[in-house]
Homo-oligomer: A and B are copies of this chain.
Amino acid sequence: MSIALSYNIPRSVSPVVLVGGKDERAMIGELAGDDLAALAKIGIRMRFARNETLFSEGDEATYSYRVVRGAIRLCKHLADGRRQIADFILPGDYCGFLYLEQHRFTAEATGDLEVIAYPQRQVEALGENMPSMRRRLTKFLSGRLMNMQDHLIMVGRQTAKERVISFLMRLADNADAADGEAIGLPMKRQDMADYLGLTIETVSRVLTCLKRSRLITLPNLHQFAITDIERCRDLVEWGEEIWRPGSSKMMDIAEA
């Protein structure tokens, strides 16, 4: 069943971005080790500044990208300016495409961005000729769907605090960070808000709240650390009750 929110968009088929996470990175590595030394060589290093566009809705796919530093945001816009970010592509992640006619969303840099771009045609050729590559790309695409489902439940059914924690946990996981270890936060508050389906103010308030509760620390605007990953995991899994029984006001999180 296909639902389209943006009914003015032609019902043609369109390209899909593949976005890899921690697991998929291994895949890329393996590919390179396997048969893709050639692919590694055709990669072109590119840089973008904050808010620069890698591609827009309607563009044709010419490159796939691997993020070296910074992050890419994939987003959709409503006519009145509301924006929803469908995914972030973080350092080490891969963002590729399946051939369809055109993009249905926009990719922009959330800050200083460094990527390696691979000509799409060459990647496609590899997919066509190598069953092992096909298989990995399939897994990869599947993983994307999984993440989308998690994102959906986050935006649809979790509270602001749960969303923010989930998000930070994802970043921590992606960085393989330990308790207290500083983790890069390569996007602005507005980007976080649009990813989480919140406003910038709410994100800010929640962060303050988490900080006060000693669940996280914020050395500066572009870094954070999770004090107790285990406890955060419980918070996300078991909901508000842990915050403090009988109260869920923003400021009422128990001091640890």
Q: Which residues from chain A sit less than 8 Å from chain B, CB to CB? A: 1-9, 11, 13-24, 64, 76, 78-80, 82-84, 86-90, 93, 96-100, 104-105, 120, 123-124, 126-128, 131, 134-135, 137-139, 141-158, 166-167, 169-170, 173-174, 196-197, 233, 236-239
Contact = CB atoms under 8 A, between A and B. Distances in A.
A128 B169 CA distance: 38
Given A139-B100, A155-B156, A238-B79, A5 B150 contact: yes
B13 A157 contact: no
A6 B135 contact: yes
Nearest to A19: B1
Contacts of A149: 76, 86, 104-105, 148
Given A1-B22, A2-B128, A82-B153, 13 more contacts: A1-B21, A2-B127, A3-B21, A3-B98, A3-B166, A5-B138, A7-B236, A16-B146, A82-B157, A84-B157, A141-B142, A151-B152, A155-B197
Contact of A86 (B97, B104, B152): B152
Copies of this protein in the complex:
2
6 contacts: A2-B124, A3-B134, A5-B158, A6-B134, A9-B135, A15-B142
Nearest to A83: B157
Contacts of A89: 1
Contact of A150 (B3, B16, B142, B157): B3
Nearest to A154: B5
B1 A124 contact: yes
User: What 8 pairs between A and B have smallest CB-CB spacing?
Assistant: A2-B21, A156-B197, A3-B170, A6-B135, A16-B142, A1-B127, A1-B124, A84-B153
B90 A9 contact: no
Contacts of A196: 156
A196 B79 CA distance: 20
A13 B233 CA distance: 21
A4 B170 contact: yes
Contacts of A13: 23, 139, 142-143
A57 B3 CA distance: 22
A78 B239 contact: yes
B100 A142 contact: yes
A165 to B, nearest CB: 10
A233 B9 CA distance: 12
Contacts of A14: 142, 146
Given A156-B197, A239-B80, A98 B142 contact: yes
